[in-house]
Structure 1
């Protein structure tokens, strides 16, 4: 800070004072008289005191300061995003056929289960009848197969009796070895017959299951002819036109659900730690409408290109006043922080370009402290990274540097 202009200003002010208010005494002093000022003081003494004040002014700078106490404020993460329907799906055909139902127009409301498209049955009813006939035939084979098992088991018992008799006669010498071998062979044949009969039962039951599967498949094909709404919502497109040929994958219509709507934004890496699932959030739409909800999703994987994290806020939209795809300014509440409310003009820059304020340190010495800007309001700006209680220079901060002694005048009482 240049000192010569300050000294010059003080001397000029003293000269103007004597010229205006002490003109007669100044003229007497010019004529060699010893004029009294303020009682017993002479003009020379007054000038000497003025010089002393000038010397004091050269060592300390007068500034205006304000005592600031930190306050706890609500913090928020501000995002730019859009609205998105809670649910949206394009309902497509699972089979082929001609549309035989009248189309529904876009914008119509449909309930879950309402028919949107119906296809011609063609020969599917005949296929179902054939499958049911085969099922009945397969079911009729089971009793026959079970009867064959009973018959084979009876033959086993008969063969077992003959074998026992042949063994006893052979032991007593009343039967030949040939008869015993023949009885044993009959026993093995009867046992094999039981196994074949049991296989026949299993085959008959498998035939029933196959026929049941064919019936279910034919019935499912008929069910596919009716395309219904999976949930209640609005038609975003017309349903398929009457007479149109549908193939598997051909869209019938697009339906969206707007009873609840999502606000979708992307949080930068620096702020992702401030957002929690369940936190309160609000948004202002481009129409001026304000809505509130809660955070229901926060991605744990950053986008590879933007390095941001997707966040979703669910909002009630029972009246469907909010549409899908509207631009929204989203504010997500986070934990409160302590900050100081100061005038924007109080902010200054240091030699390195860092944003901060100058405060009055111990011994009435100016000191620069960097700050972080949290929020800009009509009353001023909220800044953090300052002590709990601090004296901030509000006027004159541009004319002092670190270490310069200041003479503060406070705009508010300290305490």
Structure 2
């Protein structure tokens, strides 16, 4: 039996034992330092304990932490949205009648005022048609006095016939007139009534003729007015007006006019944000050029886009000098109703075992507690969070080394800063 392998295995086992389980003593022995084996003195033990335990006030171990006393502040929220600029109004001016353009064209980019002529069409035979309508109106107007005179004459004959009829009736009752005379006077009265009705119809016909002639005159004048195409509002020409000599048909385009002052900023909000925005809310926009403008929300859509399920909003902004162009990219920041929040260092945020975002706070009983929060906004001074009480002592140093219910040795940040100074 070989004994040397057994002895070698025993020596290796002892060496491993000392290396693993008695490493500190082995190093002390190797360096000649024997102080590590001496038991700690009472003073050293007391110095290693927190003040409350060193003085014998309690056996519970407390963890030293730094807290910040925070009070909630009313903070304005804001919603971000991507959008674009859009002309307040854009109209393509089109012809309502046919004709040749007889006016010199205006070039794109020109500023036009409301009511300014853009395209003028050739008069053609429309002036003659107007004169003809006016002549018919004069003729119809001249017939009315004659018809009215006939009505007066018919009414006079009716009155005479009625008087003769009454006289014949009375004489017949006294025996001085025959029944034949009474019948004749009655027939004369009916004839007079028919004459009055005919005269009234003549007056009505003459009046209708006048109205028809007036309508013809008005139609001719309106047709002539259509020959001049006017700018509907103050704005810029987006296209050239129709060229001289061009033939315009009903529906043909003369020019496109856009209004850029004021200008609209159009954005789209998600379903979760649209209820937070109301008409009249203040909004700020940053254009692609870096320029910032202010305006107010003037429209919030009640119907979602069928494809994106987003809601259109419009912000109206003044555009003096027309420096903002139609179609520019804009980043909208819309103010919403403010709510209480706490401004805390970002380092104070932590996660619980379930992965929920929150902070560790020092309770009134001197123990740590976890409080969930919702992140509102990130700034250079810290983060704004909500979901906390109005006042809270937030652990800003040491929160990662405590759990709920751990006793704390609390130091206020203000006290620590004062002591440092």
Please, what TM-score do these two structures have when normalized by structure 2? Answer: 0.82
**Runs of at least 5 residues in structure 1 that lack an aligned partner in the other structure:** 1-11, 31-41
1:45 aligns with 2:42: yes
Aligned position for 2:409:
407
Partner residue of 2:160? 158
Give the CA deviation at 1:247.
Answer: 2.1
Displacement of 1:43 after TM fit? 4.7
- Computed over aligned residues only, the root mean square deviation of the Cα atoms, in angstroms, reads 3.0
Aligned match of 2:12: none
Which residue in the other structure is 1:355 paired with?
Answer: 357
Structure 2 counterpart of 1:257, from 259, 271, 281: 259
Find 1:329's aligned residue among 328, 331, 341.
331
Please state if 1:95 is matched with 2:97: yes
Alignment of 1:152-231 (within 5 A): 152-231=154-233
Deviation string for 1:68-114 (max 9, x for gaps)?
A: 22223333232222222222211111112222222211111111111
Deviation at 1:149, TM superposition (A): 0.8
CA distance in 2, matches of 1:51, 1:154: 136
Tell me which of 313, 316, 319 is aligned to 2:318: 316
Offset of 1:229 from its aligned partner?
0.5
Aligned to 2:15: none
**In structure 2, what is the Cα distance between the partners aligned to 1:212 and 1:52?**
111
User: Relative to structure 2, which stretch is displaced further, 348-357 or 282-291?
Assistant: 348-357
Q: Secondary structure at the match of 2:415?
A: coil
Q: 1:45 to 1:400 in 2, by over 3 A?
A: closer
Partner of 2:3: none
CA deviations over 1:26-79 (Å, ceiling 9, x no partner): 49x86xxxxxxxxxxx954346547866xx799544434322222233332322
Cα distance in 2, alignment partners of residues 71 and 261 from structure 1: 35
Task: Please report how far the alpha carbon of residue 150 of structure 1 lies from its aligned counterpart in structure 2 after TM superposition.
Answer: 1.7
Mapped partners of 1:413, 1:219: distance in 2: 90
Name the residue aligned to 2:273. 271
Aligned length: 384
Per-residue CA shift, 1:134-162, capped at 9, x if unaligned?
Answer: 11111111111112112212221232232
Separation of aligned partners in 1, 2:157 and 2:252: 62
Segments of structure 2 that go 5 or more residues without pairing to the other structure are: 1-23, 54-58
Residue 246 of structure 2 corresponds to 244
Q: Is the 8 A contact 1:263 1:328 kept in 2?
A: yes
CA distance in 2 between partners of 1:80 and 1:58 (Å): 56
Name the CA distance, whole Å, in 2 between partners of 1:350 and 1:181: 119
CA gap of 1:121–1:52, structure 2 versus 1, over 3 A, is: closer
1:357, distance to aligned residue in structure 2 (A): 1.5
3-state SS, counterpart of residue 209 of structure 1: helix
CA distance in 1, matches of 2:75, 2:108: 48
Q: Does 1:108 align with 2:110?
A: yes
Which deviates further from its counterpart, 291-300 or 364-373? 291-300
Give the secondary-structure state (helix, strand or coil) at the position aligned to 1:413. helix
Establish whether residue 235 from structure 1 lines up as the match of residue 232 from structure 2. Answer: no
Partner Cα distance (1:201, 1:191) in 2 = 16
C-alpha distance in 1 between matches for 2:48 and 2:155: 137
Residues 383-394 of structure 1: pairs in structure 2 closer than 5 A: 383-394=385-396
Q: What SS does the corresponding residue of 2:283 show, helix, strand or coil? A: strand
Change in Cα spacing, 1:367 to 1:285, as seen in structure 2 (3 Å) is: same
Equivalent residue, structure 2, for 1:79: 81
The 1-side partners of 2:191 and 2:410 are apart by 121
> What's the CA shift for 1:269?
3.8
